[in-house]
Structure formats: structure tokens, C-alpha cells
Structure 1
Amino acid sequence: MTWSLDALAERRVRYADLVPCRNAFVDTRSPGSDRKENFTIIGPGVAESADQHVHIVEPHGFNVGGARQPDGCLNSQHSHEGAEVFVVHTGRWRLFFGAEREDGTLDIGPGDVVSVPIHMFRGFEKLDAGTGFLWVVLGGDDPGRVHWAPSVFDLAREHGLILLKGGRLVDLAAGETLPDDAELETAPSASEIARLVTPSPDRLAQCLVRHDALHADRSSPLAGEGVEECPVIAPAAGADGIGPGPITGWWPHGFQLRVLRLAEGAATPRYHCEDPEVLFVQSGRARVVCEAGELDLVAGDTFTSPQGWEHRIIADVDAELVVVRGGDAPVGPCLAA
């Protein structure tokens, strides 16, 4: 298939054009959580509100979203059935573990990547002044529902929000009414909470890669003068010989995540991917160049490459891109002849 620049531009989501949802979840009015913005960039996401805007609906085998919060803003304690990966774009953040934040914390900053294990409670708070943004990858085309801690339900009721079974949110304070046959979602029981065990600190440390600990793998097909690719999440070795690790996880991800670094003026070879490939500009500025022309990408932008589409990436200034490729062991970049 031949891709026009107009069609390719539809696959680029500018940070400046992100459409937030401010009532995405049942905790949206809870004190401390009422200023957060949620984004669904690729895929249906996990929002409980029909107001959530989806930027790109095409299935990828994983979902991409985001959270934007000012200082002191909380995301309440919850658990996921599938992978949830945080890439810190801006700001400093603190993750809280346990149903009531009793199992410890982890502080993360720009460029850090953490894959929080499934079947455990987590929440997070923006720590420093100003607004920060987390870029988030969720496993699967259907990432499942969020499971909230008991205190979240109590606060939601106080502020007129009711969650139905199946994940639909009813806003009583806005005049919505419960359907006659409504079945209310209930807080997890003590036995259910007991099954959502927080791993030990040593175990959780295996789920984090600090930005300053990224290491390039010279076997990357994209590596060259001024270009290096750093593995971050690789449950298994890809066909390009990179991986597994440093984050492997003891739960399925369904994707690999890497960081591509380009010095000013550097360029990758021409290549295509048979697997889904999503690019997120962590810092700097780059261009995606193909026969039809080029698209510019700036910090905070997300772009999804068409499968089988030949292109190269050129950096106008020093740039760092997060790369997500579908599958636990993707084929990876196939260089042009």
C-alpha cells in the first residue's frame, strides 16, 4: 500500500492536540484526584466514562494512553489484569503500593520506565511543581478493567459517582439515574485483596529501568553513527537478537519497549516493521522520512508506523524516542535492500 502524507499525518498524535478526559474514572471527584487528565491515544483503553476520546482506534495488540497531572494530584489505588507500563515524560512522580498505600513507594523521574506487575494495587502522585505527563502502554487489544481499592468506592459515593458492573460510570451529581436493572460494582473482598499481593522490593526493582541506566545494544539493526537502540522491556529475545531484558516480567506484556537515541543530524537506515511499531518522542525533535515526504515529530508526539511501510528517522537535534513493537518477540526492523 502507498501511504500519502495526509494519511500518515492521521497516524500522528500531537501532544498539543491530545484530547483529555477529566471524568474518566470513578475517582474523578475524590479529593486530590479531581485535577487529573486521562488520555486514550491508541486503542480503547480502560476508561469508565463514555466521554473518553480515542485518538487512534486501530488495534495494535497493545494500548497507548497517558496521564497528565499537576503537583499533588493523585491517581487512586487500583489493580490491572494486564501489563501497565509508565514512561515518565515530564515531572517527578511517586508510586504507592498496596490497597491503602501500605506496601511502600517508588519515586520515578523523566526518562524512567517502570512496568508495574499485574494483580497488585498501585497508585501515583505528581510530586514536583507544575504539570507532568506519563506516557502509558497497556497490554492487549482489550486491556480489561480497572479494579479499585475499597476506599475508592467510598469516596466516589460521597461525590455522586457510581460504578456499574461491566465498567460503566453513572454520575448522580450530574443528574444521571441508575438503570432499573443496574448491578453495582462492589469493592473487593478481604479474600480478593489478599490475593493481590505486592511483590518484595527486590522483585519490584526488576521492573524498573532508570533513564541513566539505559545501555545501547550494538546488535540493533538501526545502530550506526550517532544512532543507538537501548532495550528496556523484552520478555524474550527478538528476531534482531536483542533481549531478553532488562525488564522481562513474570506476566505477559505482548510488546517490547526500547529507547532509540539519535545525535543531531544522525539518521537510521531505511527500514520497515512487519509488527506494529509506535514511536513516542521523549525529547528533542525528529523527522520520519519516506517516499511520500516527511513528517516532523516533536517532544510529546506519538506516531504509529504502518506495518510494512519503509521509512527512516532523522534527528534535527539530539533526540530520544521510545519505541514499542508488538509481540513478545517481534521480528524487529527489516532493512531496505
Structure 2
Amino acid sequence: MRVVFMGTPSYATTILEALCNEPSIEVTLLVTQEDKPVGRKQLLTPPHTKAWLLEQGLHVEIFQPKTLRSKEAQEKISAYHPDFIVVAAYGQILPRDILDIAPCINLHASLLPKYRGASPIQSALLSGEVYTGVTSILMEEGLDTGAMLGFSYLKIEPEHNASFLFDTLSDCAAQLTLRTLKNFSSLLPIKQESANATHCKKIKKEDGLISFALDASEIVKRFKALSPWPGIFLASGLKLIEMKHIDSTNNETFGLISEVTSEGIILTCKTGKLLLKTLQPVSKSAMSARDYIRGKRLNCGDSLV
């Protein structure tokens, strides 16, 4: 079975690795995004899938087109005569010319038709979902609208955050990919009901801005969904690195230090309290919340903001 794989971040790398390790599958081409400048020094950095492939020394050609809407891209992929094109977090919508080359299987990290779009994992956490998972679909020109071929389910536990779900769902997606490809001829595609669909936008840095005027439970929900990036932070830029939900009682005031413990500081929210363990001031390293308030000469009853 000849497969052209299209994917960019670490989520896709886990699926690519499973395909490369499967004896019945030959990955002939990796299609991924262009290398991009990263960090303060703007070092040109390859996508995660490309970096992994080069580290493994596998004889798989790498193709990084600026756009798939070109004759060059269509001819390049077509020349490999794939039985399937597997797509996972590639970063571009596939045009009809690519979709017509071979069956295109997409691994989307939600239980479709919920959370079509760019941030399904974070959105499931922000919405307080009990279950999430991965759906394999037969791609069409719409955004995550294709007929569904298979599912992998995962219960979201209270301790789960976005980082954990990214890692766990990538493993689920890898196994679902193999099942879908091996059983493709016997699968009965299920059409998505668009009336039940929800959409999610790309996460931006400003989504991490919070205020203690929110309920403590809402702040913790955002903390789990937006870690490690962009994280959650106050208008001052102070980043909340480590926290714990204490209680859900109503408070007359919010943003006040109510107690200092051996673990950190307890802060009031609109409803409930938070134990803040680690904070990170702007342009400084992370530090314990106790050290932070000591440096700011703050005590119980003072506002952290």
C-alpha cells in the first residue's frame, strides 16, 4: 500500500511514525509546510514531521510547496501513484485537483461533526466536554466536512489538559489511521449532519487574557485548555503557570490574597478561590507565588493585580 502523507506538527509526526513502522505500508512522500523562522533569533526551523524524518534517516522524499493550488504540486503528488493520501494537521485545505489523485483520509482530533476547524482539542476543554476523540474522514473540499469512516473515543478526566490530550489523541489517531487504511474497502462512510456541526477558530495569544472577575472554575478551564501556549495571563502580563481550584464559594471582592500557605497563595475570584503556586512576571523566569508577593511587598488582603 503506497501512501503520501501530509502533516506538519508533532500530532502528525506520531501518525507518520506509525505508518512508517507498518510493514504493509510504504510512505513514499511527505508533504509538509515550509521551514519557518522561530524564536527571538528567528532561526529557520523545519516542521516537526520533516525534522523527525531526517533524524530517522528514512528514504522518504520531502515536498514543501508554498501552495497546493499549483500544477507543480498536483503533478508532484500524482507522480507517486499513491493508493491513499493521509492528512493530519497539514495546515492547508486540499484543492479538488489533489483530492482527485487518491482517497484522502483526514485524522481530525474531535468527534465530528463537533469542533470542525483549527483548535478542536482546546475547544473541547473550553466547552467542558466529557468525551473527545479522533475521527477519520474521507476528505472533500469543505473544512472537516467529509464522510466519517471511524472513531476513537477518549474520556476527559479532571486532570487532563491540552498537552496531555495532544499526546494521547495523536496515539489514538495513529492507531485509527492504520485501522482505517487496512479496512477501507469494507467501511461504510457516514455522512456528517451539518445541523449538528460546531466550528472552532484558531487560538490566538490574546485568548489567554483572564481576569479574577471570572469564576475560579472558568479560569482553571482556560488554564487547562490553553497550556502550554498561549497560557493564561493578567492584563499586566503576569502569567499563571501553576494553580489549583480550591472552592466555589461566592466572594464579595476578587483578586485579593486571602491566605499564604506553604504551597503558594490563595486568591479570591468572583466565585471560588484559586491556589496559585507558580507565576511568571513579564520578561522574567517563573517563580513561586510566595516569592513573587514577597518581592512586591504584598500581604493578605492586598490585590495581586
Question: Which has the larger share of strand?
Answer: 1
* TM surpasses 0.5: no
The higher relative CO (CA closer than 8 Å, separation ≥ 6) is in 1
Q: TM-score, normalised by structure 1?
A: 0.29
- Structure (1 or 2) with the larger CA radius of gyration: 2
